[in-house]
Structure 1
Amino acid sequence: MKEIVVDVKGRESLGKNASRRLRHQGLIPAIVYGSKKEPIAVVVDPKKILEIIHSESGVNTIFQLGLAQQEARRHVMIKEYQVDPVKGNLIHADFVRIQMDEVIEVDVPVQVTGEAAGVKLDGGILDHVTRQVRVSCLPTDIPEHVTIDVTPLKIGDALRVSDLPKSDKYRILSDPDLTLVVVSPPAKEEVIAPAAAEAAPAAPAEPEVMKKGKAAGEEPGETAETDDAKKKETKKPEGKEGKK
């Protein structure tokens, strides 16, 4: 594999205003440190750094940094980088010098292979609890990932760091009891309560009780007036006495 070379230039002006001017020019500020040497402020093309970050080995990529007139090309890694939270642009990077004959520590992603039996046969869910482990190795032996097979896992089974395959090129530093993956039971479907029973029909209205002596639809007072009229009709007129 062809070695990656990134050329940088020394940075004389420091501070926020100087960094802002660099970004307007399509460049970003960066710093190089490590190997018991003084840090150096540099300027770099962010496109080159993004290509490395998005490569298979990502920030674990070892590449050469060429700094004209200050020091010969040196092997470095991306230690940290900053991204604009709004625009998503790369705005700063830190590079650490690497000695190719000295052991270093890096974080390596955990890659899962196979399909867990508990997922395939019982509908379980494979949960990724830990996605990276810490390893120590020489710079040339950094693995792109460590692989673990989940095929035999049933519901309730888990794999830990201690289950990772051993290698003579690197040593795993993470806690052996740290859980990597676990097969959980399938999620229970939410039971929708049956619709409420239809409201009972309203009780039939009680029949209207008419008062005795009052005809239906008769207005109050009508009965009394009728009785008085009948009395007047049956009363005989008084006769007059004849003249003597």
Structure 2
Amino acid sequence: METAILLIPPAVNVVVTALFAWFILRQYLRRRRIYQLYWTIALTMAFLATLFYVSMLVAQPVSSAGILFFRLYYILGGALMPSWLGLGSLALVSNPRVVRICSIILSIMSVLAAILIFQASIDLPRLSQIAGTPGTGTLKTGAWLVMTIILNTLGVVAVGGVAIYSGWKLLRRQAQVAGLHTANLLRANILILAGAILNGVAGSLARFLGLQSSFWLIMAVGWTVFFIGVLLTSRRSQNKTVQENSGAETGVEKEKHPASS
């Protein structure tokens, strides 16, 4: 019964990240923007990581399957996801060449991080008590920790930095952008920044302040806030598309009725 209750926050994260990943994937399939591809990769990692966490609890953490699920959860969610999310944000404001170079470097670092985590020793007694916590301290300290901190830091800085930069640019522009009030876009960037910070500090709070039991709740709030921010920015794209279509239709009408011009 207790394990079932502890599964609720991770299960919420599974649903939220699945919806978020599907939403961004649909955008990518329509518009083929590279940042949407990287965000889809990162969100799929988040979804799979949380799914592996739930699977680990169902399979029993200290079983062979449970240990494998734990390592996969830690690789995708603990080490890789934040940095790939950051790469997507970086692709919003950087030229394609810089993004390609960063993606190659990040791919190499991701493979290295995965290898280090697979080789890291596990504290089995701590793993047996992982339910409801992020599993902080379950992997014994090693080179994987340095790599994870670097990847997480780069990811949070990239997402947060781009959100701040975008907000600053919006403040210097006109009152409306593509039919959406600049104030609304600014709120969207604030929500994205807040979501990224919550996701980024959830693990740190668990590690340094001992807030193990609140990790999944913080992550659920972080992903929800992040998702709402992205939904608000998507209204800009939808409004822009509607305006362009309306403009095209008006142009057709003018061709049919020259007198109207």
TM range (shorter): under 0.3
Q: Which structure has the higher relative contact order (CA within 8 Å, separation 6+)?
A: 2
Higher-helix-fraction structure: 2
Higher-strand-fraction structure: 1
